Amino acid sequence: MASSALLKLLICLLSISYINGSSVISYKFTPNNHPEIEKCVREAMEELMDDTCLIFEEANSNHSHLTFTNSGHCTWQKANNIIHLGVSCIDPTTCKNIITTALSTDTPYPISSRALNIQFNCSDKCTIVCENGGIVNNGCQCECRYGFSGDNCAELRNANKFTDSRCGIQDEEAGTISLSTYPQHAAKPSTYCQWLIKAPNAGDTIQFEFVEIDLDNENTLPNDKCTDSLTVFGSTIEDKIPCNEEKSTFIGKQFKSTADWVLIELRTTPFAEDNKGIYLKYNTIKKQLPSNFKIAHDQITSSTTSTASLLALTPILSILTFMLV
């Protein structure tokens, strides 16, 4: 068992070559690949080479390499690291994600390019990873979304202004959200609170449900639906949540985040009537591969290549996978 794992480790190390600080990834296309497949793969490689220090180089020998083959599905075959692609399931995002997955990066593109830079020690490339919807600018710095700050956008910008002890970051896989006074009336004169629900892993999403929305809607301005303000960022909810009779369309309904976080902001006015605030429950949904992308742990047969193909490149982090086999 130990000798087998060591052999696999040596094969893995030998399959990576280094030129001027860059890691060279050898690859091959099997014969008769569809032109659209080769186009998608080559364009994905070009983007990855722009973002990282990796160099993808077509193999000219039988040495270990990454193999792309024409199939009726998009699957990474872990047994021998063959990437199966089909015209019906490819698109630019899928091609990049399936390549980075084969390189042992389980985060989606473009975050995966930052992870590859760290993995392959690309010191001259950008390695910063922005959280909570932040975007990397041309200067390799994070531009944060509303409500966030810090080098990686991991901090709540206005945390020092929160008026309730339960405001802040919620990083449990499941839980509830409410003010500390709930189910009693909220404290006066006013409330300002943000809850950041953060999933444990990149690629996970959050499902949440409002159980109760008890906010003030008395004496509102014309066309307003709430004296108080309840807003959700980073989810399928696009507008402020009403607290008049229209709130019934939100209570008891399941909503999802668009990434691994969701930010909920509550503001109450000092002249609002006695109200309890909100009560919300949430849970984490573990990362799922796109419906057009699978990972096969056993050998599978392609229409253009046999399962006896050579062991392909498995970079450094794949060693952990090998050691567990």
With helix as H, strand as E and coil as C, how does 207-246 read? Answer: EEEEEEEECCCCCCCCCCCCCCEEEEECECCCCCCCCCHH
* pLDDT, tens digit (0-9, with 9 covering 90-100), for 50-101: 989 999 999 876 667 889 999 888 888 877 878 999 999 899 988 998 898 8
Which range among 144-153, 208-217, 267-276, 316-325 shows the weakest confidence by mean pLDDT? 316-325
* pLDDT, tens digit (0-9, with 9 covering 90-100), for 144-178: 999 999 999 999 999 999 999 999 999 999 999 99
Task: List domains and CATH numbers for the chain.
Answer: 2-130+294-324 (3.40.390), 174-283 (2.60.120.290)
Secondary structure class of 62 (helix, strand, coil): coil
pLDDT band, residue 217 (cuts 50/70/90): confident
Residue of higher predicted confidence among 146 and 300: 146
* pLDDT, tens digit (0-9, with 9 covering 90-100), for 278-291: 999 999 998 765 55
pLDDT band, residue 49 (cuts 50/70/90): very high
Q: How far apart are CA 92 and CA 110, in angstroms?
A: 12
User: What average pLDDT does range 185-214 have in this prediction?
Assistant: 91
Joined together, the tokens standing for residue 121 give 């020690």
Residue of higher predicted confidence among 73 and 325: 73
User: What average pLDDT does range 100-128 have in this prediction?
Assistant: 84
Closest-CA residue to 171 (of 132, 143, 118, 212) = 132
Joined together, the tokens standing for residue 309 give 């193909």
Average pLDDT taken over every residue of the chain: 81
